[in-house]
């Protein structure tokens, strides 16, 4: 009976433990994911998609950009629940909009997202890395 009681008491604590373990730092996420995938979208005119495969690649890059915002919201990385989360959501929203534009193979829609992508970066860097603001 004691074992059952201990299991019942321990189960909420076990259920609250996230099944993931952050490995990369915020800087590593920025360098490895956010920056290269945002560049793929921001500089799309340098090498525009020419076929279905290119559009699929761009869609995957947009997905990774959106997911990098989610990675920044993981407990242990999130600086706070206010501005940090709001700024990370801006990145997710910009990436999700880029996914939609790439799925539609809409070059103008991708280009129209440049300001939203850059703004999400600058807004966050202004707040949390004022000496290292991202200016494009």
CA angle 69, 75, 81 (to 5 degrees): 75
Mean pLDDT for the stretch of residues 25-31: 92
Mean pLDDT for the stretch of residues 10-16: 58
pLDDT for 136 beyond 70: no
What is the tens place of the pLDDT at every residue in 41-85?
999 999 999 999 999 999 999 999 999 999 999 988 888 888 889
Mean pLDDT for the stretch of residues 90-113: 96
pLDDT for 101 beyond 90: yes
Amino acid 80: pLDDT: 83
Listed by start position, the domains of the chain span 26-132
pLDDT for 7 beyond 90: no
Question: What percent of the chain clears pLDDT 70, i.e. is strictly above it?
Answer: 83
Q: Which CATH architecture has domain 26-132?
A: Up-down Bundle (1.20)
Band of residue 22 on the pLDDT scale cut at 50, 70, 90: confident
Of the candidates 117, 122, 73, 82, the one whose C-alpha atom is nearest the C-alpha of residue 96 is 117
With contact defined as beta carbons under 8 Å apart, do 102 and 62 qualify? Answer: yes
Within 10 angstroms of residue 61's Cβ, the number of other Cβ atoms is 22
DSSP readout, the chain? -HHHHHHHHHHHHHHHS-S----S-HHHHIIIIIHHHHHHHHTGGGS---SHHHHHHHHHHHHHHHHHHHHHTSTTT-S-SSHHHHHHHHHHHHHHHHHHHHHTT-HHHHHHTHHHHHHHHHHHHHHH-GGG----
């Amino acid at each position: 009976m004691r074992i059952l009681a201990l299991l019942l008491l321990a189960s909420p604590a076990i259920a609250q433990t996230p099944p993931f373990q952050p490995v990369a730092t915020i800087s590593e996420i920025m360098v490895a994911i956010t920056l290269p995938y945002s560049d793929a979208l921001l500089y799309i005119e340098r090498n525009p998609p020419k076929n279905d495969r290119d559009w699929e690649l761009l869609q995957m890059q947009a997905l990774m950009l959106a997911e990098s915002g989610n990675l920044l919201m993981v407990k242990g990385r999130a600086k706070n629940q206010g501005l940090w989360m709001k700024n990370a959501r801006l990145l997710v929203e910009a990436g999700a909009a880029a996914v939609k534009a790439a799925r539609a193979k809409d070059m103008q829609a991708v280009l129209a997202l440049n300001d939203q992508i850059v703004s999400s970066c600058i807004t966050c860097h202004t707040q949390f890395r004022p000496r290292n603001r991202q200016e494009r």
